Every structure is written in structure tokens, then in C-alpha cells.
Amino acid sequence: MKDIKMNNQKLLICFAFLLASFNGIAQSDKDNTKAVAAITDNLNKITTELYPRKGKFSIFWGYNRSAYTHSNLNFKGDGYNFTITDIRATDGPVPFSSVYFGPTTFTIPQFNYRITYYISDQNFISFGSDHMKYTMAKQTTRLTGSIATGDKAGTYNNTEVTVGEDCDDYNPGPGYIDGLPKGFVSGFEHCDGLNDFSAEFGRLSQLWISKNHKHALAVTGSAGLGMVIPDSDADVLGQPPKHDMEAGKKAYHLAGYSISATMGFQFDFYKHFFLLARLKAGYINLPDINTTIYGGKASQHFDFIEPMMVFGYSFHLSK
């Protein structure tokens, strides 16, 4: 009888321990559920609290580099119509110096400027210009077409020639190519700008915002359509170019259009300032390039890629 009582007491003690354990597990699960809910709330708060941009304007200024795919160039004028193929060109960066900070020289390098209006905290439209430079390198090419007058008169069918022989910046020096016929296109560049004036529609996707809402980091993307207004300098068959650098005569002309897309990272700080590193890529078609004072024309199309770094300021026009 005594043994039965002792066994009952042991069972009661075990049951009490089990009940306490279950209560502890239940409380722990409850605490874990609260913790997960708190984390979820914080994440939702981060993603829903956007850096305030709606109704703001912003302006930026910065500098770029650019690279281009090879292209074919067609030249037409009084007594000639010929094409040179697979033409290689480079940009024209200015070495970093006081030129970038001089009040009369800061527009000499390859630059970018743009004004933006934020339709919402994440969507924007913008207008501005990319001032790139384009210089044909000294190279061999294949020429096809006809020339009716001068010492280059004749009909050409995929004839190997040298072009760009007067382009000193990218001239490899004497070599095999100097033995080939030349004087067809001794130089060709969009020297005071391969200027792309474009409108863009874009969106920012926020990655981070500070607790005081004064700083933020976002990924940006946009699509754009532009008008290309280059100042082209071309030496075609020795004829005087429309652009005259010595006389200070420019040859700006609406030569074609661009289609582009951009992607970048934007860091906003102290509510009004931002740094933007972005990559722009696209297509340029120039069917109507001015070349000579006698009405000569050229045409080409190519793809481009353009990395840039800019500094900007954002503001409201009214409170």
C-alpha cells in the first residue's frame, strides 16, 4: 500500500514537471512569434518609408568617358559618293587638371548636365545633354564608290586605303598603312561635341534610408530619346570643312537621333545633395552630318556606352 502511494506521488511530480515544460515551450514560441513580427514590421517600415522626392526638382553636373562600336561612313557631295567601312573611333578625354574647375574652361572636358522633376518619390522625368567626343583613328579601311574629279577620281570596289592620317592624337606612326592610298578622309571627328540632348523617364528603387530621412541610397534606371547635334570637323578629299577651328567657326547641326537606357547608384545626403554614378548605353543614328563648305554630307550609325559621375542638388520651387 505504501509503495502504491509513493508511485502516485512520483507520477504527480512527473506530471507537474511536464506541465511546466509545456508552459515554457509555449511561452518561448510566443516570444519568438513576437520577435519575428517585430522584425517583419521593421522591414515593412524600411520599404514603405521612402526618401521624400515627390514635387522636387534636381540639377546635376559631371563628367563622362565614352566608347563606340565600329561604323561605316558614307560621304556624298558634288562629284563623289563613297563609303568607308568598319571605322574605329575613340573619345577625347582631357587629363584631370585645373581645367575642370576654371570658370571659362570647365566645359572643355566631356561633360553632362540634366534637370529632373520627381513625379513621385520613385518616378521622374528629366531633360539634359551628354557632351561626348568622337575622333576617327588613323587606320586602314575598305572604300567602295565613285569619285568624279580630282587626283582621286575613279571607281572603287572594296579598295584598301588609309584614312585618318591627320589624326595626331591616335596616330600610330609610320608603318604599312602609310604605303596605301590616302587623302580620301584625312580626318573626321565630332570635335566640339557629339552632343546628345535627350529626355528620359526613370525610376529609383530604394536600397536604404537613414532614420532621420536625410540620407538614402537607391538604384536608378531610365530610358531616353534624344536629338544629336554635333559640331563635326571633316577633311574629305582635301575640301575645306564647314567647321573651322582656326577661325572659331562652329558647325552645329541637327544630324540625327539617339535611343538610350541608363542604370546607376544614387546616394542622397543632407536632403539636398547627391552623388550619382551611372552607366548609359544606346544607339546613335546620324543620317545628316555636315562636312564641307560646298554642301558635302556624311552619314553613320553606331552603338555607344558612357560611364559618368555627377554631383547634384535637389530643391522645391516653393514651400
Report pLDDT for 318.
79
Residues 117-150: pLDDT tens digits? 999 999 999 999 999 999 999 999 999 999 998 9
Residue 220's SS3 state is: strand
Residue 292 pLDDT level (bands cut at 50, 70, 90):
very high
Determine the number of helices (DSSP H) and then strands (DSSP E) in the chain: 1, 15
Residues 220-276: pLDDT tens digits? 999 999 999 999 999 999 999 999 877 778 889 999 999 999 999 999 999 999 999
| Residues ≥6 apart with Cβ < 8 Å to 58 | 115, 116, 118, 274, 312, 313, 314, 315
Range 49-56 average pLDDT:
93
Q: What is the pTM of this model?
A: 0.84
As given in the structure block, the three cell numbers for residue 266 are 544614387
Residues 169-207: pLDDT tens digits? 566 666 778 899 999 999 999 999 999 999 999 999 999
